[in-house]
Chain A
Amino acid sequence: MFSDVIVPKETLLSAPGSEEPVFARLQPSFSGCLERCRLGERSFSRQYAHIYATRLLQMRDILADRATQKWGGVVPIRKLCDLQTGEQCIIVGTIFKHMELQPSILKEISEEHNLLPQPPRAKYISQSDELILEDELQRIKLEGNIDTPKFVTGSVIDIMGAEKNDGKFTVEDFCMADLPPQTPRQPLSSDRCLCFLLLASGLGLNGSRADSMMGLQLLVDMVTGQLGDEGEQSGAASISRVILAGNLLSQSTQDKDSTTKAKYLTKKTPAGSVEAIRLLDELLMQLVASVPVDVMPGQYDPTNYTLPQQPLHRCMFPSRYFEVEGFVVSLRFLGTAGQNISDIVKYSNMDDHLEILESTLRLRHLAPTALDTLGCYPFYQKDPFIMEECPHVYFSGNAPSYQCKRVTGPEGQDVLLVAIPEFSSTQTACLVNLCTLECEPVCFSSFSTEEDEDNEMNISH
């Protein structure tokens, strides 16, 4: 663990020595493998049906194999158009959850209903939700042994059961695609095996108020080795890379007035994000001087709204140019800024980010709600959110609190799940040991101006 690495050596209050100790940072090689998320031509002149069609095409064979493994080859796999009443069979398709409370643009603009737009809610589930399974040609309602609130629209699953006389399909059991194949972990060639990766998200920078700046500065100082004595500095040298997973800017930089006010009134006022990006650039300049940094844009960052969000443009960072995506060679990392998880929170009864992270891994799909309730680019050739290879570390940013878990797959896959907490509210980042795949939180607490008694600054591991 990182706390074992930091061994204070009592060198702080001593006379200056003749030599300055120099600590070399470990630099394992990295390569980016997110080419499928880069958009070349951006044409929105097509319908979104293509994504669902390719999603089902890609997942159908995988699910057929899983069904055979789980239930044996006895029960036949049928398409919906070949169903016979009363026959026990397996069907493969995409789930559609019909929710009464789901905001619908058609209801809003419908004149006969004369409804006001629905206020945003925390959850859109209700007792009357229904699950429907769709394949290439038909759809059928599901009932029986299936937990409706847990599923979200867009998940592709296998269902075993039979069609009853009323045209509904009674579910006896279901199964998901489960974890994809994983290349075994190669140990990094390092004697002491001390190589860490820092994960942080939700920095929440804001031009006007700087609530978490103290904590951020502590984080930067710790990583660049400017904090602590020699023992702690040599420990910091084992942090080989930093990944910032989304929401570098806070929600308050998104100026809602600019969309409603007339242009001539807002012409002179600069956007809230300009000052915040300048702060971010200064922060990153300090970090990048010493350690490679990967920056993932999030929900409130200046990039496109639809998934996959494209990298932040380099013109926003005049001080330094750096890669905005990259993954470790012998370990596969996969992660998002958290929009997919928080979308599933709204449309299912699950609240735990880690539980949802695990369920998306079992479904083998990063963002099942991608088309329905989460903005997405209309892909036509392949669905880029389907996981083809199992990652070793799977993370998502902007969680309400830090959580981590190890899960194993049916073929022996070993994955570390990390829910990275939002830094602006929790002042916590995560350190992942790349050799042993263990994770621990690093908390930076700082002064609070409201409290009377003296608070000590501490960096706890």
Chain B
Amino acid sequence: MNDSILAAFRCAVNFIYKTPKRGLITDTFMGVKKARRGGKRDKSPSPPVAEPEPPQLSEREKDLQELKKFDLDCKFGPCTGISRLQRWERAALHGLNPPQEIKDILLKESTDPEYTQSLWCDYPL
């Protein structure tokens, strides 16, 4: 009974406080407090924890990141309401030299709406 209550409590805490990479916030706080109480001033600061390796992105995720950067580049004008290919063609028409790689990615996956539509296509006008 207690175990289950504890498990439920922990689930709730996990749900509320858990961040994707660092675990529970309560763990982090407790760690900082313990270090101060232990008279850390005498010790030399510990070397910073090495950043974990960024997860390898798949081909699809790399493409989507490139397309997002293209959307957010204000040089090519507003991106809402038109497809990415239409925006690319408009930029080419006005001599803004949009990168050819973007067009290749778009033509490669011309049926996938995540590729063809802009970042904010789900938002209404």
Question: CB within 8 Å of B: which residues of A?
Answer: 45-47, 49-50, 53-54, 57-58, 136-137, 378, 380-382
Instruction: Kindly state whether residue B99 has any CB partner on chain A within 8 Å.
Output: no
Q: Is the CB of A380 within 8 A of B74?
A: no
What's the Cα separation between A380 and B96 when bound, in Å?
15
8 Å CB contact of B82 from A137, A380, A382? A380
Task: With CB as the reference atom, state the residue of chain B lying closest to A61.
Answer: B95
Taking CB as reference atom, which chain A residue is nearest B93? A381
Q: Could you show 23 A-B contacts with beta carbons less than 8 Å apart? A: A45-B125, A46-B80, A46-B81, A46-B125, A47-B78, A47-B125, A50-B81, A53-B77, A54-B77, A54-B94, A57-B94, A57-B96, A58-B94, A136-B74, A137-B74, A378-B81, A380-B82, A380-B86, A381-B89, A381-B90, A381-B93, A382-B90, A382-B93
| Residue of A50, A137, A378, A382 contacting most chain B CB atoms (<10 Å) | A50
- Complex CA distance for A229 and B10, rounded to whole angstroms: 106
Determine whether the beta carbon of A54 is less than 8 Å from that of B81.
no
* Alpha-carbon gap, A47 to B80, bound state (A): 7
Task: For the complex formed, measure the closest distance between the CB of A39 and the CB atoms of chain B, giving whole angstroms.
Answer: 16
Which of A45, A57, A58, A382 gathers most chain B CB within 10 Å? A57
Shortest Cβ distance from residue A82 to the other chain B in the assembled complex, whole angstroms: 14
Determine if A46 and B82 form an interchain contact, defined as CB atoms under 8 angstroms apart: yes
Contacts of B94 in A (CB 8 A): 54, 57-58
Distance A53 CA – B96 CA, assembled complex (angstroms): 13
Q: Is the CB of B81 within 8 A of A45?
A: yes
Chain A residues within an 8 Å CB radius of B80: 46-47, 49
Q: How far is the CB of A286 from chain B (nearest CB, A)?
A: 45
Complexed CA–CA distance, A345 and B120 (Å):
39
Which residues of the other chain, A, contact B77 by a CB distance below 8 angstroms? 50, 53-54, 57, 136
Per-residue 0/1 for B78-109: is the Cβ within 8 Å of any A Cβ (1 yes, 0 no)?
A: 10111000100110011010000000000000
Q: List CB contacts (< 8 Å) of B40-76 with chain A.
A: 74
A376 → B minimal CB distance (Å): 15
Q: Closest CB of chain B to A136's CB: distance in Å?
A: 7
Contacts of A380 in B (CB 8 A): 81-82, 86, 90
Tell me the nearest residue of chain A to B75, going by C-beta: A136
Task: For the complex, give the distance between the alpha carbons of A195 and B29 in Å.
Answer: 91
Question: How far does the Cβ of A177 sit from chain B's closest Cβ, in whole Å?
Answer: 16
A47 — which chain B residues lie within 8 A by C-beta? 78, 80-81, 125
A52 and chain B: residue at smallest CB distance: B78
Assembly CA distance A45 to B80 (angstroms): 10
* Chain B contacts for A53, CB-based, 8 A: 77-78
* Minimum Cβ distance to chain B for residue A57 (Å): 5
Q: How far is the CA of A54 from the CA of B125 in the complex (A)?
A: 19
Which chain B residue shows the least CB distance to A56?
A: B77
- Minimum Cβ distance to chain A for residue B43 (Å): 48
A46-B80, A57-B77 given; name 5 further pairs at CB < 8 Å: A45-B125, A47-B78, A47-B80, A50-B77, A380-B82
Q: Which residue of A has the minimal Cβ distance to B124?
A: A45
What chain A residues lie within 8 Å of B89 (beta carbons)? 381
- Report the separation of the CA atoms of residues A378 and B86 in the bound assembly, to the nearest whole angstrom: 14
With both chains docked as a complex, state the minimum distance between the C-beta of A440 and any C-beta of chain B, in angstroms.
42
Bound state CA distance, A382 and B89, in angstroms? 11
Give chain B nearest CB distance to A379 CB in angstroms: 10
Chain B residue at minimal CB-CB distance from A380: B82
A47 to B82, CA, bound (A): 9
List of A residues within 8 angstroms of B82 by Cβ:
46, 50, 380
In the assembled complex, the Cα of A381 lies from the Cα of B78 at a distance in Å of 11
User: A54 and B90 in contact (CB under 8 A), knowing A46-B80, A47-B81, A47-B125?
Assistant: yes
Which of B80, B81, B125 counts the most chain A CB atoms within 10 A?
A: B81
CB-based nearest A residue for B95: A61
Q: Give the complex CA separation of A46 and B78 in angstroms.
A: 11
- Please name the residue on chain B nearest to A43 by beta carbon: B81
CB distance from B125 to the nearest CB of A (A): 6
Residue of A nearest to B78 (CB): A49
Minimum CB distance partner of A381 in chain B: B90
Using Cβ atoms and an 8 Å threshold, which residues of chain A touch B81? Answer: 45-47, 50, 378, 380
Q: How far is the CA of A380 from the CA of B77 in the complex (A)?
A: 10
Among B74, B80, B90, residue most surrounded by chain A Cβ atoms (within 10 Å): B90
The reply to whether B93 and A50 contact each other, CB–CB distance below 8 Å, is no
Q: Which chain B residue lies CB-closest to A137?
A: B74
Q: How far is the CB of A215 from chain B (nearest CB, A)?
A: 47
Residues of B within 8 A of A46 (CB): 80-82, 125
Q: Which residues of B contact A137 (CB under 8 A)?
A: 74
